[in-house]
Amino acid sequence: MTKRTPTSIGGKAAIAGAIGSAAIAAAVLYANRRKDKKEAAKAPPPSKQKPETD
């Protein structure tokens, strides 16, 4: 069974649009992940005082 590729301009544009959308989504997810890691690295270190217990 062979794969049929669209021969019309509209079909090619639809494939290009899907690929472009996937690339944009991947870029946004990657940027958000980097941002989350950066914010986690900036978190203040835990205090050196021991917690009060009863």
Is 18 a member of any domain?
yes
Q: Helices (H), strands (E): how many in the chain?
A: 1, 0
Reading the block at residue 39, the tokens are 């914010």
Q: Looking at the 3D structure of the chain, how many domains does it have? A: 1
Is 30 a member of any domain?
yes
Q: Residue 2 carries which DSSP code?
A: P
Q: Is 1 a residue whose pLDDT tops 60?
A: no
CA atoms within 13 A on the CB side of 8: 3
Place of tokens 């917690």: 51
What does the pLDDT look like over 10-19, one tens digit per residue? Answer: 888 888 888 8
Full-model pTM:
0.48
Is 16 a member of any domain?
yes
Which residues form the domain of 19? 11-39
pLDDT of residue 54: 66
Is 35 a member of any domain?
yes
pLDDT of residue 6: 57
Is 29 a member of any domain?
yes
What does the pLDDT look like over 18-49, one tens digit per residue? Answer: 889 999 999 999 988 887 777 777 766 677 77
pLDDT of residue 53: 75
- What's the rounded Cα separation, in Å, for the pair 17 and 22? 9
Question: Which amino acid appears at position 11 of this protein?
Answer: G
